[in-house]
Structure 1
C-alpha cells in the first residue's frame, strides 16, 4: 500500500493485522524517506554527544583521580594506575562511537542490519535507564541521562517507521 509518490502510507487505526503482515512490494528505486535521514542524523547527534561527554570526562579526570581512594578487594590503586583507566575508557568509548558513526552512514545508505542493531541498542539503553530509575531511584535530569534517553527514543521512533523499514528492505524480494 503506497501513495502516489511510492512511499508506504501510514496505517489506519482500524487496519487489520493480516493486511499489516503483508510484505511490502519490491522497489529498488525507492527514494530515501525523511525518517531514515532523521534517524541517521539522530545517531550522528548521539555520537556527537558521546564525544562531548568523553571530552568532559577527560577534563574532569584529574580532579576525579585526585579525590579517588580506590581500594578493590584489598588492593590499593595509585593515581597513575587510575589514570590509565581513563585511557582504557577513552579507547573503548571511542571504538563504540566510531561504530555508531559507521552505522549511521550505513543506515543512510539503506542497510537493514545496522538499522536493526542501532534500534536494539537504543531499546537496551532505554530499558536500562528505566531500570536504574525504578530500582535505584536515579533521577533523569538534563546533566545525567535525559539527553541520551531522548535521543534513543527519537532514534527508535524514526528507524522503526514503516518507511524506514521499507527503504532498508527495498532490495529484498518477497
Structure 2
C-alpha cells in the first residue's frame, strides 16, 4: 500500500513540533536567569541552584522531544500505536491550552502559543484521517526465517 499524504504530513508536522519545542527550550535556557531573577519566592538562590533548576526543566524536555522524534519516524513507517500516542498527546496539549485560556491564566499569542496549538490541531486532522488509519492498520507482510534467509509472505 502506498503511503498516504496524510501520514507523511502528520510525521512532518510532528517534526515541526519537535523543532518548535527545541527552540522553546533553547530560548528558556538563554533567558533562565532573568526569568527566575535573583530571588525565588522571596528566597535568594545561588547560581548553582539556578543551574540545577534549569537542568531539571531542560533534560526531561529534551528527552520528550527525542521520544516525539522517534514517534514521528514510526508514524512515517505506519506504526498504528505511535499514531495513536501522538494523537493522544496532541489532544492533551489542545485541551490544556484551552483550559488555561478559559481560566484566564494564558493568552494565546502568535509568537509561540498559537503556532503550537495550530500544529497540534493539524497533527490531529492529518493522523485521524481515514487514509492514515487505513495505512497504519494495513496487514503487514509476514516473514519466515529459514536456513537460507527470510522470505516475505503477503498473507493473501
TM range (shorter): 0.7 to 0.9
TM-score in terms of structure 1 length: 0.75
Separation (CA, whole Å) in 2 of partners of 1:68 and 1:159: 45
Q: Which residue of 2 aligns with 1:132?
A: 100
Q: Which residue of 1 aligns with 2:144?
A: none
**Unaligned 5+ runs, structure 2:** 141-154
Aligned alpha-carbon RMSD (Å): 1.8
Q: Which residue of 2 aligns with 1:162?
A: 130
Which of the two has greater strand per residue? 2
In the TM superposition, structure 1's runs of 4+ consecutive aligned residues that sit over 4 Å from their partners are: none
2:4 to 33, 41, 57: 33
Distance 1:68 1:124, change over 3 A: farther
* Matched position secondary structure for 2:107: coil
Q: Which residue of 2 aligns with 1:48?
A: 19
Kindly tell me the number of residue pairs found equivalent between the two proteins: 141
The structure, 1 or 2, with the larger RCO (C-alpha pairs under 8 Å, 6+ apart) is 1
**Unaligned 5+ runs, structure 1:** 1-29
TM-score in terms of structure 2 length: 0.84
